[in-house]
């Protein structure tokens, strides 16, 4: 699974960080989502999918598995 964040859409709600902190973080200066890894381990896939669904602006895109 590949993960991408659309930084033009992200509003820094932080739901992704709360749901999958191993994969997502928030930038120090702007609070927008950043990736800790663009290819998370399979064990994190369910949480990443949940984070995508929880994003209020649909800024998380997944491809692959």
Give residue limits of the domains in the chain: 2-63
What span, in angstroms and rounded, lies between the C-alpha atoms of 21 and 35? 9
Instruction: Provide DSSP, the chain.
Output: -EEEE-TTT-----HHHHH-TTTEEE-TTT--EEES-SS--GGGHHHHHHHHHH-TT--EEEE--
pLDDT at residue 47 in the model: 98
Is there a contact between 58 and 4 (Cβ–Cβ < 8 Å)?
A: no
From 3.30.70.100, 3.30.70.20, 3.30.830.10, 2.40.110.10, which CATH number describes the 2-63 domain? Answer: 3.30.70.20
Q: What is the pTM of this model?
A: 0.92
What span, in angstroms and rounded, lies between the C-alpha atoms of 64 and 32? 24
Tens of pLDDT along the chain (65 residues) come to 999 999 999 999 999 999 999 999 999 999 999 999 989 999 999 999 999 999 999 999 999 86
């Amino acid at each position: 699974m590949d993960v991408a964040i659309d930084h033009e859409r992200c509003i820094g709600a932080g739901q992704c960080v709360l749901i999958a902190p191993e994969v997502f973080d928030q930038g120090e200066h702007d609070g927008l989502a950043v990736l800790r890894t663009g290819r998370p381990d399979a064990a994190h896939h369910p949480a990443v999918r949940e984070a995508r669904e929880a994003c209020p602006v649909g800024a998380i895109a997944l491809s692959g598995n």
